[in-house]
Amino acid sequence: MFTERSILVTGGTGSFGKKFIQHILTNYQYVERIAVFSRDEFKQFEMSNMPEFAGNPKLRFFLGDVRDKERLMRAIDGVDMVIHAAALKQVPACEYNPFEAVKTNILGAQNIIETSIERNVKKVIALSTDKACSPINLYGATKLCSDKLFIAGSVYSGRHNTKFSVVRYGNVAGSRGSVIPFFQKLIQEGAKELPITDYRMTRFWLKLESAIDLVCYAAEKMNGGELFVKKIPSMKMTDLAKAMDPHLRLKEIGIRPGEKIHEMMISVEDARNTIEMDDHYVIYPDAYPSKNKLLGKPVQNDFEYHSGNNNEWLTVEQMKNLINEINNESIVEKPTFRLRVNEAA
C-alpha cells in the first residue's frame, strides 16, 4: 500500500486532511513528500505549528484553490497520488450560493482530473458523500456530478493511464458543521431543548479513522473507475440527542429544504453494478466496462443501502463513548465538551 512517494491532499487543512496526513506520516515512512493544498493561509499556519506536524521535513504547504487550474498544475508537478478532499459542503450555503458550489465541486473536480492527467499522476482518489446518492439538494447534486467525472476519468486519461476512484461515506462524528458540535454548543449555552427536524430521521455515523481505512484500502486495490462505499452504522437522531444530554426535551421543528429522512449510500438503480465485500461495497460504472474487477458477492437487484434499512446501529452508550473519544483527539476541530459516560440514558 502507498508505494507512491509523493502525495498531494486538497483540502488538506480540514478534519479529514489533517487526520489522513498524520496517519500517512506515522505508518508509511517511505513516503517522501506530502503536499497540503488549501486556500486558507491561517489554517495552514495553525496546522504547520501543531505538535503532530511542526518541523516535519516531508510536509509542503501550497496556498491555492481547486478552481485555479494553473496553480494546481504547479502544485501537482511531481506528485504520484492525489487525495481530493476539498469541497463546499454546507447544504444551506450551497443552496444560497449555487454557482459557487458548482465552481468548486464540479469545475474544481474537472481541474483536478485534467491536471492529474497532464502531470502523469498515478492515482487519484476523490472523497464523496452519502448526499451524492439520489440527491435532493445542490450540494449532493454537485458531488454526484463530481463522482461521475472522477469515475469517467480513468477512460478520459487515455494513454496517460492515470487511475481515478471515489470513496463514499456518511457523517463524520465531530467534523466541522455536523450536528454534534451544534448540539454541543446549545448544551453549553444552557438550552432547555434540542431541535430535531423529524423524529423519524436517521443518519450514518463514523469516525475519521474508518474513512481513512477505506481510502487506504482503495489506494491499494483500485484499478480505476470504482466507487467504494463504506459499511458504517446508523443512528436515529432522537437517540443522538439522548446521547448528548438525556435530560433535555426534544422539539420537532420540521424537515428543512434539502433534507432526507434517511441518507442513502447505494440506490436500487446502482444495485446491478454493485458487489459486496466484508466491510464495504464497490459500485462499478454503468456506462463502460471496468477491467480487473475486485472479487465480491453481487447484491440483489432490489438492493438499496440507506441509513434507515441498515443492519448495524449505534446505541446511545456507543455514541457517548464515540463523542468522548473525539474530544480527546487534539487534531480534530471541536468545542470543549464532555459527556459523563455512566450517565443514565
What are the residue numbers of the active site?
131
Contact assessment for residue 133 and residue 266, using Cβ atoms and an 8 Å cutoff: yes
What single letter denotes the amino acid at residue 22?
A: Q
Cell numbers describing residue 244? 448528548
Torsion angle (degrees, nearest 10) of CA 182, 183, 189, 195: 100
Contact assessment for residue 147 and residue 113, using Cβ atoms and an 8 Å cutoff: no
d(CA 164, CA 17): 19
Give all strands (DSSP E) within the chain, no chain letters. Answer: 6-10, 33-38, 59-63, 81-84, 123-127, 163-168, 171-172, 193-196, 202-206, 227-230, 234-236, 249-252, 264-266, 274-276, 280-283, 297-298, 305-306
d(CA 61, CA 85): 15
DSSP of 61-91: EEE--TT-HHHHHHHHTT-SEEEE------H
d(CA 8, CA 220): 17
Tell me, what DSSP letter sits at residue 95? H
Handedness of CA 297, 302, 307, 310 (dihedral sign): negative
Cell numbers describing residue 345? 440514558
Helix axes 179-188, 237-244, angle to 10 degrees: 40
d(CA 226, CA 147): 10
- How many CA atoms, within 13 angstroms, populate the side-chain half-sphere of residue 148? 14
Residue with cell 446521547: 243
Q: Which candidate, 17, 60, 11, 55, places its Cα nearest to that of 332? A: 17
